[in-house]
Structures are given as structure tokens and as C-alpha cells.
Structure 1
Amino acid sequence: MLIETERLYMRPVHASDATALYHLHSDPLVVRLTSNGSALSRTQSDERLDLYLREWREYHFGFFIVYEKQLSGDLGFAGRCGLRNLDGNSVELGYCFNTRASGRGLATEAATQITHFAFSHCKLEKLVGLVRPSNAQSSRVLQKLGFVYTALSIQRGVEYRRYELHHKGRPGEIFA
């Protein structure tokens, strides 16, 4: 499963992505916007990768590694974007981009593609987005996609703003 846009190349995570994901999880912007102010250790980052790989095996969806196409024809690592089983009943749209890739619409572009994948390929009826209250950038991405804020939510002991997007299922209307 590959997803490509004019600017992005996305593929499912591989075990060989451990170092790239560790650097992403240690990026100062990522730490500030998504965690309690401390970067994941290499062991914690590798455990996340194991979870991502397991979800692909179990659910046939998961996180994609996102590369930005360069003018030279090379691919530059930008981050990750994909789906994750939140609690057995909900599927979360999640994304995380490094400092170099942030602020240029790449998250919105990638998340749009993953939302299409979720509703058309995976046949999901609803997606959830969880955003730390201080992460205005991420909230804007979800709102651009049509997600609606529903409530504050506690996940794994951390407070998030919860957004939802429901699939309408009408021809030509993928998003709510």
C-alpha cells in the first residue's frame, strides 16, 4: 500500500524505520507539541514502532512513513501519519511531523490522504483525532478536514481535545 501526492510519498512503517522514528520522537517540536516535555527514549520509541507494526498485522491499517519529494528527486523524511486502534471501538487519525516539515501544509495533505484511505479502503464509519490542548497547529489540521471538537478526553493518563469525523457515505462526499 503506497500513497502518493504531488509533494508526498507515503508507505507503511517497516522495522527498518526505527532510527528515523526515534529521531522524530526526539525532535524538539514534536516533544513540545505531543508529549509532557520529555522525548521518548530509544526503547520507548522502538516499543511504539512495535505497536505500529502489530497494528498493521492485526487490523490491516496503521501508520505510514511520510517522505517529502525533493527537487533533486530524492525523498526527505518528514514524519508519520496514519491510523491507530484507539480503544477497540474507535480508530484514531494521528500524525507527527519533524521541525523541517512543519508549517507547510504537509500534515494536512497527508492526513487528507489517510482519511480517504480510512473511509474508502478500510470502510471505517468514524475517525477520532486527539490533540493536546496546547497544540493549535494540530487542531487546525483536523478542522480543515472537517473534524468537529466533541470533548476533553483522558487517554493513557494525558488530557486531549477529542475531535470526530463521520463518514457520510454519499457519492462524492467522503467527509462529514
Structure 2
Amino acid sequence: MTDTLLALSTENCRIAPLTADDARALAAITDETVTSQIHFLPTPFTESDARALIAGSGGGDVFHAVRDVRGADLNGVIGVHRRVGQDYEVGYWFAARARGRGIATEAVRAVVEALAASRPGCAIVAECRPDNVRSRALLRRVGFVSTGLAGRRPGRMLLMWRAAPLDRIDVC
């Protein structure tokens, strides 16, 4: 697997790299609730901004479209960002209409598991604001745990993915 996740399917999602044809839909789902949380996205996020983000996707920063298996609507975006060595960072945003339905958890889990399977031994991290309760909960459901370290971006904490949750007790 290259730095691009070619295509993934889950029970409810189709995941593949964004293309130029996605620019209008990407701009439509990237409102102020998203841009206020993601430092590299301008407010307002225009179709021109979307085209630039998509054009720059590839190599070490790949942005993936998350669509419903039954339709072409863009529900969200998952970024996979190569860091130093074998480390990768994942980040995401989802349309307001898609939030709270389990779509993000399902899609992020699929991307993280595919990334881990294709690169044995790699570290997968995410950064999250401590006050972003919903995102922290999503990351925990997927298998991320706090490292206790600050993230690279101001006000963010660093989380690391573990193949199995650390709080599971198999023996009593």
C-alpha cells in the first residue's frame, strides 16, 4: 500500500481519496463548526479552498472521502498524514447531517485498521482538544489512548492507537 488508501468499504461507508469532482461537496460540509477546530482550514472554506486542499493531497498528506454505501453524498473526510519515520496521524471532519450516527467511528476505525495492517509496527496518532468531548469519545471507541503529552498544535493532546483497548480485563 502506498501512502494512499486506495479504497475501503465497510457496512455503511465507502472510503476513497478525494478527487477534484469532490470540491463543491467538500466546501459544503466544511462549515464553521469544522474550520473553528482545524487550524489549517480557512473560514469561510470556499470551493476554491477545497480544490487547493484536494490538489495538494497525495504523498504524505492524503484526504479521503467518506460516502454512504448507498449514495454519492460526501459525509466526511479522513486525513492520513505521514509524520517522522513510520508514524502516521489521522484527522477527520464530518458533515453536520452525518454526526451522531456512528458513521465517523466506523469510517475512522476502518482507516486506522487498514493503515495498521499495511504498515506493521507503525505508530498511529491523533491530536484532539481536551474540550472536544465527542471527538475524544470517538477516538477512544476506535482504540486511541492518551499519551499524556501535548500535541504539536497548541491546545491539543496527543493520543496513540492501540490494537486492543488497554482497559479490557480478560482475567478476574
Give the TM-score range, shorter chain: 0.7 to 0.9
Task: Give structure 1 regions of 4+ aligned residues with deviation exceeding 6 angstroms.
Answer: none
Query: How far off its partner does 1:33 sit?
Result: 3.9
Q: Unaligned stretches of 5+ in structure 2? A: 1-5, 166-172
Task: Show the counterpart of 1:38.
Answer: 43
Structure 1 counterpart of 2:151, from 148, 153, 175: 153
Q: Deviations over 1:70-124 (max 9, x none)?
A: xxx4332201124112456631111110100011111110011001111112435
Pairwise CA distance, 1:43 = 4.2
| Match 2:24 to one of 19, 23, 40 | 19
Q: Could you tell me which residue of structure 2 aligns to residue 140 of structure 1?
A: 137
Q: Percent identity of the aligned residues? A: 24
Amino acid at match of 1:135: N
Cα distance 1:134–1:44, how it changes in 2: closer, same or farther (>3 A)? Answer: farther
Identify which of 6, 13, 18 aligns with 1:8. Answer: 13
* Structure 2 residue aligned with 1:47: 52
Q: In structure 1, how many angstroms separate the alpha carbons of the residues matched to 2:53 and 2:121?
A: 23
For the aligned residue pairs, the C-alpha RMSD in angstroms reads 2.6
Counterpart of 2:89?
Answer: 92
**What stretches of structure 1 of length at least 5 have no aligned partner?**
167-173
The alignment of Structure 1 onto Structure 2 pairs a total of residues equal to 158
TM-score (norm: length of structure 1): 0.75
Query: Per the alignment, do residues 124 and 153 of structure 1 end up closer, same or farther by CA in structure 2, a change over 3 Å counting?
Result: same
